[in-house]
Structure 1
Amino acid sequence: MSRTWFITGTSSGFGREMTERLLERGDRVAATLRSPTVLESLKAQYGNQLWVAQLDVTDSQQVRNVIDRAFTELGQIDVVVSNAGYGLAGAAEELADEHIVQLLNTNVIGSIQVIRAALPHLRRQGGGRILQLSSMGGQITFPGLSLYHTSKFAMEGFVDTVAQEVSGFNIEFTLVEPGTAQTSFTQGLVMSEPLAAYETSGIRSLLENWPQIGDAKKMVREMIASVDRSPAPRRLILGSDAYTLVHAGLQEKLAALEAQKEIALSTDID
């Protein structure tokens, strides 16, 4: 069954790979990115099958305008993929204020505004699917990525909440949680200026030498396939590293919770 998809952040990485795969199989794609000329070759190849618009997700009014225009010009959009985002690395006190604000504006506020702008359209058309790109870093953490994790944890909480609010409108969500993958993510990683106090911490060595074991093409294949599953999987773990690390993290949290059961129960009103 052919579908129409709206995708943010299609210049590279998962967004570009998903756009190409969907076009190849005959779906229609509304691709948004900051520099539309990047997709000129695809537009020349696929014509009206590919709808392209300039979009900076940190501009909330532009987000609303572009999404309104996409639904108006394309009619029904079946799947909205909130993919735009990037990473910020460095110990927490190394991070520059402007880098913190920019990351949160992109990864959190931008993603929230994409979803908020799409909801009225999806509600009026009787439903749809939203894929929010998260990460294994939305459930577990690594030193040196505090603000990246903050952004992913924030979106996981937002999506879990909104999914409950709109379940009666046949709108379903999937949080996509990839592990490491051979994409352009590391090239786009913003590194903070180092402080001497953290020279021996090993944070930068860890980030610079992190093995990229996931196959981006296979991951995108599973993202697309998830839309055929009903009910929608709330979380889609991708990669053996993601499965192993998230599994261990959840077991640790559950064990810590059980260890505090008596304390928790003892604090109710008598």
Structure 2
Amino acid sequence: MAKTWFITGASKGFGREWAEAALERGDSVVGTARNPDDVQALVDQYPDTFLAIRLDVTDRAADVAAVQQAAEHFGRLDVVVNNAGFGHFGMVEELTEDEVRAQLETNFFGALWVTQAALPIMREQGSGHVVQVSSIGGISAFPTVGAYHASKWALEGLSQSLSQEVAGFGIHVTLVEPGGFSTDWSGPSSKHSEELDAYADVREAASKRPSASDPGKPEATRSAILKVVDAEQPPLRVFFGKAPLGIAERDYESRLATWREWQPVAEEAHGA
């Protein structure tokens, strides 16, 4: 059966790729963008199955209205993809309050508001799939992107709780955790804090991370996302790209080793 998708940030990157993949196989898609002109080509090519909506996901009332419009237009809502987001680059000491709030408003709160708006519709249907675009940066962390990590780690925790809360309603939740891809996440879409000279060496080392040398191809994720949303039992978490698994294994092995080393102190803190 054809699915109806709601995709935020559908004008470029993963959002655009996944919208096109869904449309090409006959699904219906509601794609949001700050500027609907950026998706006009899809409107022209798929006039009956693609609906463009202007949306700034940081506007909660607009999120609710957009989701409701989508459901009314196509009659149901099968897959909600919270893709809208951007990367902010800056050492923790360099971050301003406005920069951190802007990062969280888009990457975390935007996804939360859209998800909340979709849940009553999906509960009424008895089915649905919420796809949260997280990152390897949602389970691990690196220098220069602390605010971004904060937004994705928050999304990860929220979504894991959500998955347990809505399972009984036939609603699935998946966190897609990509590694480095050739999108404009670190290009025109990104924001940067004013740099402090004290962190020049840290910044230089961070710029040489291996993941930057072999980015994934966004178009290759088309078939991958379709496999995820078509699965009878989709995963709560799934990596996209070759690098994330190795990063996660090293990170979690280190965490477990530290926790075990300090377990006597943990038990001491428990009390007799």
Name the TM tier (shorter chain). Answer: over 0.9
Gaps of 5+ in 2: none
RMSD: 1.7
Q: Aligned partners of 2:204, 2:129: CA distance in 1, in Å?
A: 37
Q: Aligned partners of 1:266, 1:94: CA distance in 2, in Å?
A: 38
How many aligned residue pairs are there? 270
Offset at 1:69?
1.3
Q: Is this contact kept in 2: 1:129–1:171, CA < 8 A?
A: yes
Output one character per residue of 1:145-196: Cα deviation in whole Å (capped at 9) or x when no partner. Answer: 0000000000000000111111111111000000000112121121111112
The residue type paired with residue 254 of structure 1 is L
Offset at 1:204?
7.7
Question: Are 1:247 and 2:236 an aligned pair?
Answer: no
Task: Quote the residue 1:238 is aligned against.
Answer: 240
Output one character per residue of 1:206-247: Cα deviation in whole Å (capped at 9) or x when no partner. Answer: 179932421212223212211122322010111111111112
Question: Are 1:206 and 2:207 an aligned pair?
Answer: yes
Task: Quote the residue 2:14 is aligned against.
Answer: 14
Task: Quote the residue 2:156 is aligned against.
Answer: 156
**Local SS of the residue matching 1:52:** strand
Task: Quote the residue 2:108 is aligned against.
Answer: 108
Task: Quote the residue 2:128 is aligned against.
Answer: 128
Pair 255,20 (structure 1): closer, same or farther in 2 beyond 3 Å: same
Pair 10,208 (structure 1): closer, same or farther in 2 beyond 3 Å: farther
Pair 184,208 (structure 1): closer, same or farther in 2 beyond 3 Å: farther
Q: Is this contact kept in 1: 2:143–2:202, CA < 8 A?
A: no
Q: Is this contact kept in 1: 2:89–2:144, CA < 8 A?
A: yes
Q: Aligned partners of 1:170, 1:200: CA distance in 2, in Å?
A: 50
Task: Quote the residue 1:222 is aligned against.
Answer: 224
Instruction: Please give the TM-score of this superposition, normalised by the length of structure 2.
Output: 0.94
Task: Quote the residue 1:195 is aligned against.
Answer: 196
Q: Aligned partners of 1:235, 1:24: CA distance in 2, in Å?
A: 26
Comparing 196-205 and 147-156, the one that deviates more: 196-205
Pair 207,193 (structure 1): closer, same or farther in 2 beyond 3 Å: farther
Instruction: Please give the TM-score of this superposition, normalised by the length of structure 1.
Output: 0.95
Offset at 1:143?
0.2
Q: Is this contact kept in 2: 1:180–1:211, CA < 8 A?
A: no
Pair 245,72 (structure 1): closer, same or farther in 2 beyond 3 Å: same
Q: Aligned partners of 1:195, 1:184: CA distance in 2, in Å?
A: 24
Q: Is this contact kept in 1: 2:144–2:206, CA < 8 A?
A: no
Question: Are 1:30 and 2:30 an aligned pair?
Answer: yes
The residue type paired with residue 251 of structure 1 is E
**Local SS of the residue matching 1:85:** coil
Q: Aligned partners of 2:259, 2:225: CA distance in 1, in Å?
A: 32
Q: Aligned partners of 1:183, 1:68: CA distance in 2, in Å?
A: 30
Q: Is this contact kept in 2: 1:178–1:219, CA < 8 A?
A: no
Comparing 120-129 and 206-215, the one that deviates more: 206-215
Identical-pair percentage:
37
Offset at 1:4?
0.9
Q: Is this contact kept in 2: 1:182–1:212, CA < 8 A?
A: no
Gaps of 5+ in 1: none
Q: Aligned partners of 1:77, 1:21: CA distance in 2, in Å?
A: 17
The residue type paired with residue 194 of structure 1 is E
Output one character per residue of 1:96-144: Cα deviation in whole Å (capped at 9) or x when no partner. Answer: 3222111111011111111111111100111111100000000111100
Aligned pairs for 1:23-172 within 5 A: 23-172=23-172
**Local SS of the residue matching 2:258:** helix
